[in-house]
Structure 1
Amino acid sequence: MTSVEAAAGIAAQKTAEKERFWPYGWWKIMDFRIGIIPLPAFLILSGIIYYHVCAGKVPGEITMIIALLAVFGFTCAEIGKRTPVLKNIGAAAIFATFIPSALTYYHIIPVEVVKVTTDFTKQSQFLYLFIACIIVGSIFGMDRQVLIKGFFKIFVPLAVGSVAAAIVGTLVGMLVGKTAYETFFFLVVPIMAGGVGEGAIPLSIGYSEILGLPQGEMFATVLPPVMLGSLTAILLSGTLNYIGKRYPHLTGEGRLQPGVENEISSAAAAPTTGPIDPATVAAGGLIAICLYLMGTLSHKLFGLPAPVAMLFIAVLFKLSNAISPRLQEGGTVVYKFFQTAVTYPLLFAVGVSMTPWDKLMAAFTLPNLVTIFATVATLMGTGFLVGRRIGMYPIEAAIVNACHSGQGGTGDVAILTAANRMVLMPFAQIATRIGGALTVTCTLIVLAKFIA
């Protein structure tokens, strides 16, 4: 037998082996995933969840919660990713958030699943762990010059966009039959108030004290525009992501400004030795938790919102080179893990426990829809134009402005997921937290003077 015939025989034998179902065919099945879940594991987990639902009690232990959120979250996201047309404008984030909200309202999701999801989400507050890891990881992964210039520059399109959105939104509301007072204070302002916890609640408390009306009534009035404004921002941000793929010169794919790559600037000067080990990744995660707890302490001592305080502390650590390049890379790995593995389960949990479908539907009147769309579109459009004018990538500037009309931290996650730009989370937090706080404060001052 010649060497050629021997080689051909070996190749034929290997081909025959790979055509066998076990283990090669089985490995192909294992490599097929629903989100990040291998198909066999997805089916097994679904069966286990179904068993506990039929038994009338879903355990609240952490392993069951992880399985439940992963199965439901990635299923909703996969449906969105495979929906024609909508898949191009952020349907995965929308479906992962709002389908669970609707299914919960119409009692399609079993009550046992709703209860254990709601209890875990509200008691664990793991939304803040997610935001902490995303903020710290993305800041540590930024070039220092981008960070310095970006933090100063982003206030310009944000401020101009807020003023333009307030004017245009109020005028459009008047054109569709609403009064300027009703439109501005109960539609436009809630959209840009910074979400529910930091926006709608303090705004409703202020309105209640100034107007002498029940706080619950005020909250029920301002909540629907917050939610519908966030949904509009998600849709428009997903659309901008699609536009960016068609016109690459308009986007930095997560970078705010041309000319500098979004990478750890000190890595070249102090290269790491070999791959990042698990201990370094764990250390990066603990640094994120440490910074967040410093933020919560700042909130108790000085009243500054914890995510904002954490944001500034992380920036200070980055700019002062207080964190070594290796730990910065560990933090970046943590960021990538949370972005990949936690986003859609988190959005499902938010949809079930924190997104009331009936309140969202209450805003679905034509005058409200037109006014809210005009407000959010103006906010983002102004960010696009002003950002381009001052040397920023216009799509990134518009997406950061979109977060000013989001549903707080959950809105930021959904908006940036739809836009595929989670790396913008630090700037999104500026738009949401600082922009929202300024909006609420200035509005209550104006209303008090207006009523007086």
Structure 2
Amino acid sequence: MDLDIGIVPLPVFVTLAALIAVLTATDHITGELAVVIGIMTVFAFALAEIGKRLPLVRSIGGAAIFVTIVPSYLAYQGLIPGAAVKAIGGFFSDTKVLSLFIAFVIVGSILSMDRSVLIRGFAKIFVPLLAGSVVALAVGTAVGTATGLGLKHTVFFVVVPIMAGGVGEGAIPLTIGYASIVSVTQGELLARVLPAVFVGNLTAILLAGLLSYLGRGRPDLTGNGRLDAGAGPDLLDAAEEPGRGAAVSVQQVAAAGVTAVTLYLAGVLAHSLLDWPAPVVMLALAVLLKLLHGVTPRLQQGSRFVYEFCLAAMAFPMLFTFSATQTPWETLVKGFSPAPLVTCAATVCAMAGTGFVVSRWVKLHPIEGALVTGTHSGMGGAGDIAILTAADRMRLMPFAQIATRIGGGITVTLALVAAHSVGL
């Protein structure tokens, strides 16, 4: 019982899988919530475990890649029972559970961040992050247009998804916004942008390994996890997260959950009245609440629990369900053609390279500055872990989270504003 498949004890997982198999064989698969949870749990965490253990793939966020891509293929080939696909698809569409998941992830991640790291950290990396994003946009757009992808397609479906902050926190909110602009389903749009997210993440991981190798040969270019190039204390030396490691009460978790729902509904109202993208409004309100000292230590602790619970228990089932029921396999495959691959690689290289150069100007270690800037093209939290692990610089995680979450949120916001203005 202490050996898990994902979050599920092995004997429980085997029993659950057997029950789902019997229900399928006896034609008793229904849309009941318990049945849907069982189906999502078995398939999602089984695929995640496979992705975690495959050589090479496990080093580039294999679990998230497997759970996001493979279900689309399995459903396409009929390897997931049709009754199971129908049950989870109906639940997914009728309940809008993805919107609630996005609310918990976005709001929980922002409210749980240490305020001093949020403010001072963003101020530290703002210049290389901004410069890297602008150069990456210019280079990626030029390469994509030159290879025949077209200007709008390159910007909105290749370059922007790379910098959106991953799948759950970036690509999904981005495609929700896209779907409100064009008469195309969100699943179809997500299938178009996912290859760019994956390839961008892989390129950033490879660059991280090369930067780490460069640092061993040129110690003058790196702080070995220290961002500031000056002689004073590093930002992370003074950063404190109130309540880290303390017990979290049920009331704290409930308060954080209701806060996330409230901000989400505010976003829904803004979309209904003003046609503003709901995820963007929700993100802006969460950041504003944090900056205005509206998050007390107890709410911060509860938000951290909500965020970590969603990543551990809900992320893979959500990704599996979306892939199996909403992501067309044929559209997904088209995104891995040579032109998008070259464009993705050029975008990420331009971003990290600019971060390396600009970091010198703002008195940051160039390699650390390039790594943090490069995490802006990472696949969410899992991508940040993979990138920083490849460079052996996990100490930079708070800065990476700022680049991924805040940088990704700003990217999604600007992209949706631009898409509303110029069309897709």
Q: Match of 1:147, as an amino acid? A: L
Instruction: Name the count of aligned residue pairs.
Output: 390
Following superposition, the deviation at residue 118 of structure 1 comes to 2.0
TM-score, normalised on structure 1? 0.72
Aligned to 1:327: 299
Match of 1:287 in 2: 259
Partner of 1:227: 194
Q: Partners in 2 of 1:170 and 1:115 — Cα distance?
A: 39
Partner amino acid, structure 2, of 1:374: A
C-alpha change, 1:200 and 1:122, in structure 2 (3 Å) is: closer
Q: State the Cα distance separating 1:196 from its structure 2 match.
A: 6.8
CA RMSD of aligned residues (A): 4.0
Q: Against the structure 1 CA distance between its residues 389 and 66, is the aligned structure 2 distance closer, same or farther, given a 3 Å change threshold? A: farther
**Correspondence 1:236 to 2:187:** no
Match 1:260 to one of 223, 230, 236: 236
Deviates more, 1:87-96 or 1:336-345: 336-345
* Structure 1 residue 72, shift from structure 2 partner: 0.9
Partner of 1:84, secondary structure, is coil
* C-alpha distance in structure 2 between counterparts of 1:447 and 1:284, whole Å: 36
Question: Could you tell me whether the CA contact under 8 Å between 2:121 and 2:402 is conserved in 1?
Answer: no
Partner SS for 2:322: helix
Per-residue displacement from partner, 1:187-245 (whole Å, max 9, x unpaired)? 34421345477459749968xxxxxxxx769x98x876523211212323555777799
- Counterpart residue identity of residue 87, structure 2: V
TM-aligned CA distance change 1:433 to 1:125, over 3 Å: farther
CA distance in 2, matches of 1:200, 1:291: 17
Distance 1:261 1:216, change over 3 A: same
CA distance in 2, matches of 1:230, 1:95: 14
Q: CA deviation at 1:45?
A: 0.6
The residue number in structure 2 matching 1:398 is 374
| Greater shift in the superposed pair: 225-234 or 105-114 | 225-234
Distance of 1:321 and 1:64 partners within structure 2: 42
User: Which digits, 9 at most, give the CA deviation of each residue in 1:143-173, with x for residues without a partner?
Assistant: 2222223455665445433432344335545
Distance in 2 (CA, whole Å) between partners of 1:43 and 1:36 is: 13
Contact 1:388 1:394 (C-alpha < 8 Å) held by counterparts: no
Distance of 1:349 and 1:291 partners within structure 2 = 25
Alignment equivalent of 1:370, drawn from 320, 323, 342: 342
The residue type equivalent to 1:227 in the other structure is L
How many Å separate the matches in 2 of 1:282 and 1:441? 33
So what's the TM-score if we normalise by structure 2?
0.76
Identity rate of aligned residues, in percent? Answer: 35
Give the conservation status (yes or no) of the 8 Å contact 2:29–2:84.
Answer: yes
How far is the alpha carbon of 1:80 from its aligned partner? 0.9
Q: CA distance change for structure 1 residues 192 and 365 in 2, over 3 Å: closer, same or farther?
A: closer
Q: CA 1:318–1:91 in structure 2 vs 1: closer, same or farther (change >3 Å)?
A: same
Gaps of 5+ in 2: 162-170, 216-221, 228-232, 389-396
Counterparts of 1:101 and 1:189, CA distance in 2: 23
Higher gyration radius (CA): 1
Partner of 1:192: 159
Q: In the alignment, what sits opposite 2:131?
A: 160
Specify the alignment match of 2:82 in structure 1. 111
Corresponding residue number in structure 1 for 2:279:
307
2:107 counterpart of 1:136:
yes
Pairwise CA distance, 1:74: 0.9
Partner residue of 2:391? none
User: Is 1:298 matched with 2:273?
Assistant: no
1:394-433 to 2 correspondence within 5 Å?
394-399=370-375, 401-402=376-377, 412=380, 415=383, 428-433=404-409
Of 152-161 and 419-428, more deviation after overlay is shown by 419-428
Once the two structures are TM-superposed, the CA of residue 439 in structure 1 deviates from its matched residue by 4.1
Report the equivalent of 1:124.
95
